[in-house]
Structure 1
């Protein structure tokens, strides 16, 4: 009886051996083979060698602070936290030689655009070449970010520019009066309720907001000048809020080359000294499992909010009635 049990256990152990080999050894051999092929034999198999990689980071939708998300009407947003984390991943990846930042955005938050602009500069300082690629729209804050790149590509019909700052308030006091609605406000200071919809702005409040706008506008100009290496007054002459096509922007030195995403990727690889085939790695911040298993998630499609569209419309109207002096 004891001998019979011993035989069963021994047989069970023997039956587990091929399972262990299948689960542990075979995957390890496959991974090792892939690494060897990529490092030593990539060129003979038309595969990109390890290190011949160009990162792709997308900025799609209205630029906002925080994480990306969707609005109540389905509009997409490019959260500064998400974009910055993706760019940080690029800086930490030793095999990434260049980066293409694909921008499809009408702009958005000035502070969020500044944060992304600064992170793009940090990527450049890490030794990577950065190329900005404009989609349908890369205006206002979208152009702010693009100006930090080493080189900017735009399609001839892309809409860009709209360099400027805007604050809008809503005054509903006439409508509220007709409805018989009254507001009683208790505040700690004279201007604490500045911008409320229950009353119009005072002249003093307009001056306060104008000074605020002028300060942010000067920061915008300084960063565009820094990124594009153009004279300050030249940039100021273009920065009246008007919108340009990609072709017009190239003539005004706001972009470097005309071309699509594929052209920008090839230019980034070329500028980084990559010869032959290269791999495009699309970066999106991932959790632990995403980092372990690899792969990336598609980013949201291009959406535009009504305010951003209104700003672009204003720029187009300005372009119709004025020329650069």
Structure 2
């Protein structure tokens, strides 16, 4: 997230950059992270630079969310997208810990301070509190689509049930603009900017992944440390 936002900010201030194609290859992710990327895309557009989105094999949920504020959205016919919804997953290891004789003592200021704790069953009141949070964030997602894609809220709600869609289906529903690949997005952007011939492409430099990231260990650790995590997934 931070790296992507920083790259957009750099391109926003770089006078040699006339427009941006955002290549999306993502099944989703954290809500706040997606919203921060969207906000930076809006700033780029407000600076006078168009942003086109190009979806790869998958751009679902949070991956679709970050495409919404772009000027145009491209997807392959078989791109997997949609999956409009919010999910919160929390493990419960209470029974497992009992079997091995491990118990946790929790001292808290108020009754909901350890809501979502993996060491105990959630109460019905706590489930309702978290469901209210999910519903609020879900409505933020729907509102973003209604506003960004200029669609009727009722129509969006009919498909905003977590279902996945192909690129072709998404186009029929108005969720994307064009069927096309990265090449199409780049050359259409160049054409809209009045650039003749092959445009000069600047790609952001990505840092090399660490061994933990390559093995998938870092993401597993992060998920454990953030046991309560709202995701567009």
After superposition, give the CA deviation of every residue in 1:46-99 in whole Å (9 maximum; x if it has no partner).
xxxxxxxxxxxxxxxxxxxxxxxxxxxxxxxxxx21111111111112222211
CA distance in structure 2 between the aligned counterparts of 1:186 and 1:253, rounded to whole angstroms: 51
Matched with 1:218 is 139
Distance 1:218 1:299, change over 3 A: farther
Matched with 2:118 is 197
Matched with 2:229 is none
CA distance in structure 2 between the aligned counterparts of 1:84 and 1:171, rounded to whole angstroms: 34
Distance 1:298 1:172, change over 3 A: closer
Higher helix fraction: Structure 1 or Structure 2?
A: 1
- Whether 2:85 is the aligned partner of 1:135: answer no
Deviation at 1:298, TM superposition (A): 7.3
CA distance in structure 2 between the aligned counterparts of 1:218 and 1:302, rounded to whole angstroms: 35
Q: 2:157 aligns with which of 230, 236, 247?
A: 236
Matches within 5 A, 1:247-262: 247-262=168-183
Deviation at 1:299, TM superposition (A): 7.6
* CA contact 1:157–1:245 (8 Å) conserved in 2: yes
Matched with 1:59 is none
CA distance in structure 2 between the aligned counterparts of 1:162 and 1:187, rounded to whole angstroms: 37
* CA contact 1:129–1:271 (8 Å) conserved in 2: no
CA distance in structure 1 between the aligned counterparts of 2:76 and 2:207, rounded to whole angstroms: 22
CA distance in structure 1 between the aligned counterparts of 2:26 and 2:173, rounded to whole angstroms: 20
Q: 1:112 aligns with which of 29, 33, 37?
A: 33
Cα RMSD (Å) of the superposition? Answer: 2.3
Matched with 1:5 is none
After superposition, give the CA deviation of every residue in 1:188-225 in whole Å (9 maximum; x if it has no partner).
11011111111111000001001111111111111122
Q: 1:246 aligns with which of 167, 172, 184?
A: 167
CA distance in structure 1 between the aligned counterparts of 2:28 and 2:208, rounded to whole angstroms: 17
Give the structure-2-normalised TM-score: 0.86
* CA contact 1:90–1:283 (8 Å) conserved in 2: no
The alignment partner of 1:279 has SS state of: coil
* CA contact 1:104–1:302 (8 Å) conserved in 2: no
Matched with 1:207 is 128
CA distance in structure 2 between the aligned counterparts of 1:253 and 1:181, rounded to whole angstroms: 53
CA distance in structure 2 between the aligned counterparts of 1:242 and 1:299, rounded to whole angstroms: 34
CA distance in structure 2 between the aligned counterparts of 1:303 and 1:97, rounded to whole angstroms: 37
Deviation at 1:283, TM superposition (A): 2.5
The alignment partner of 1:244 has SS state of: strand
Contiguous gaps of at least 5 residues in structure 2: 224-232
Give the structure-1-normalised TM-score: 0.63
Matched with 1:159 is 80
- Structure number with greater CO (CA < 8 Å, separation at least 6) is 2
After superposition, give the CA deviation of every residue in 1:18-44 in whole Å (9 maximum; x if it has no partner).
xxxxxxxxxxxxxxxxxxxxxxxxxxx
